[in-house]
Structure 1
Amino acid sequence: MRRTESVNVADGEFSLHVWTPPSGRGPGILLVQEIFGVGDYVEAVADDLVGLGYVVAAPDMFWRIEPDWAVKHDEQALPKAMSMVSEFDWEKGPEDLEAALAHLRGVPEVDGRVGVLGFCFGGTLAYLLAARARVDAAVSFYGSGVPGALEALERIEGPVQFHFGGSDPYIPREDVAAVERAVAGRGGMEIHVQEDGGHAFHNRKAPMFYQPGPADRAWRLTEEFLGRVLGVGA
């Protein structure tokens, strides 16, 4: 079941799309969009998570630019999507995400722990959120901003799982290696690199990006990590 709630911040409000599992209750996951908005791919991932027993909430991160904006995942939409990211406020945006996290904790169906999961643009935001707020789990898929913000690792207290593609044209392999080195030996942190994976390999709504093999392998690791840390079904 899906509904839309509003998150209030000092200078406005934005949409938070909430999905609940068949059981009616479960751990919460804040699902952070990629550059195409809260559209069919985010909905598909939410459905996957709901099927596992989570309460899922996806905030509209582009609301300050164009509220509730979403487009198809194709080459024609890519320039506009990239322009949305270029206009994104990287100071206020993480504050919005933190407000969405607080709202999710208060959703009545959320029973227990709360984590964050983000893809691409959202993968960077999920990582930054884990460094500024308490989350019980964080999963970051190919966040291009992660390699340049490794100092934030020192501020993360909860478990984190990173995913990257080893053949990502947008994130050089040497940058991924820098994340591997930074994460190595840190308790509660893990990184998985699908060497045959390009950028956005998990996005099954984008034929130009989707790679079933890397996607399936990474998602199995994600399911296991979230289940172990958030205790779904416990």
Structure 2
Amino acid sequence: MLGSWIEIAVPQGPDVAATVLRSWWVRPADGALRGGVLVLPEVFGVNPWVRGVAGALAAEGYGALALPLFARTAPDLELGYDDASLAEGRQHKDLTTTPQLLADGAAAARWLQDQLAPDPSRPSAAGRPALGCVGFCFGGHAALLLATLPAVVASCDFYGAGVATGRPGGGPPSLELLDQVAGRLWCFCGGADPLIPPAEVVAIERALAAADPSGERHRLIRAEGAAHGYMCSARNAFQPAAAAEGWRLMLELFDAELTGKG
């Protein structure tokens, strides 16, 4: 794999200050890319585990771009998983808004599309290469938001807490944006996740069904007995079997939507 830090400029926009995204870019050393995937971290930043996710996607043939979610308050954030780090990450999360996340995601998507060679046989969004997106925890919530971008056709929201109760920076629940999601969105929830209680899981399931009555585009996937953070091998909540299944399903979605095999 070839990995490096790169910088992506985000222009100033309505309610959004300009910034630079210090992002981790990794791709296979040889061969054409099968597609591009945005990787959105937990509140702990683009740390070694998140870079490892990007590397694992690159091992599957994808170009993976892990971008910071707190570029304006902590552009170089890399934290561990202790309580103090969690408190620090949540401070930055509380200062982050939905317009910022969407502006940063759009800039990152444009950069990633530029790295993909046009291929008439592949899915495309507005005439440009289509992208996937995966996020974890706060990054999972952000993945639901970025699923509204035209460039993103396949999104995996892993235990994105709060989507049923609000949105970053304030406002109605992010679930109310599902009518703007033109692609496919799969939401993963652990059955023992205290940050997404049963009532919110039901709300997510109902919102997905209302936005996609056919059930062909959107799915809710429960990992029974799994706690919050079950995908992350660096956390105490890591559950290997649930993580392996989550990874398998994510690759299934990306294979179908980004490589033209669906």
Whether these two folds match at TM > 0.5 is yes
Cross-structure match for 1:20: 27
Percent identity of paired positions between Structure 1 and Structure 2: 30
Q: CA deviation at 1:157?
A: 0.4
Deviations 1:143-181 (A, max 9, x none): 113223221111110111111112111111110111112
The equivalences for 1:143-162 within 5 A come to 143-147=160-164, 148-162=173-187
Is contact 2:136-2:159 (8 Å) kept?
yes
Bigger relative contact order, structure 1 or 2, given CA contacts below 8 A and separation 6+?
Answer: 1
- Classify 1:232/1:29 alpha carbon distance in 2 versus 1 (closer, same or farther; 3 Å): farther
Aligned length: 233
Matched, 1:8 2:9: yes
Cross-structure match for 2:51: 43
Structure 2 residue runs of 5 or longer lacking an equivalent are 12-17, 120-128, 165-172
Deviations 1:86-144 (A, max 9, x none): 12233222211111111111125686431111111111111111124331211111111
Cross-structure match for 2:68: 60
Structure 1 residue runs of 4 or more that deviate by more than 6 Å after TM superposition: none
2:193 counterpart (165, 168, 171) = 168
What secondary structure sits across from 2:152 in the alignment? coil
Cross-structure match for 1:103: 111
Separation (CA, whole Å) in 2 of partners of 1:24 and 1:69: 32
Separation (CA, whole Å) in 2 of partners of 1:233 and 1:150: 29
Superposition RMSD on alpha carbons, in Å? 2.0
Q: CA deviation at 1:24?
A: 3.8
Is contact 1:183-1:190 (8 Å) kept?
yes
What secondary structure sits across from 1:61 in the alignment? coil
Letter in 1 for 2:244: D
Letter in 1 for 2:91: S
What secondary structure sits across from 1:88 in the alignment? coil
Separation (CA, whole Å) in 2 of partners of 1:146 and 1:83: 18
- Classify 1:83/1:117 alpha carbon distance in 2 versus 1 (closer, same or farther; 3 Å): same
Separation (CA, whole Å) in 1 of partners of 2:146 and 2:56: 22
Matched, 1:179 2:204: yes
Q: CA deviation at 1:16?
A: 2.2
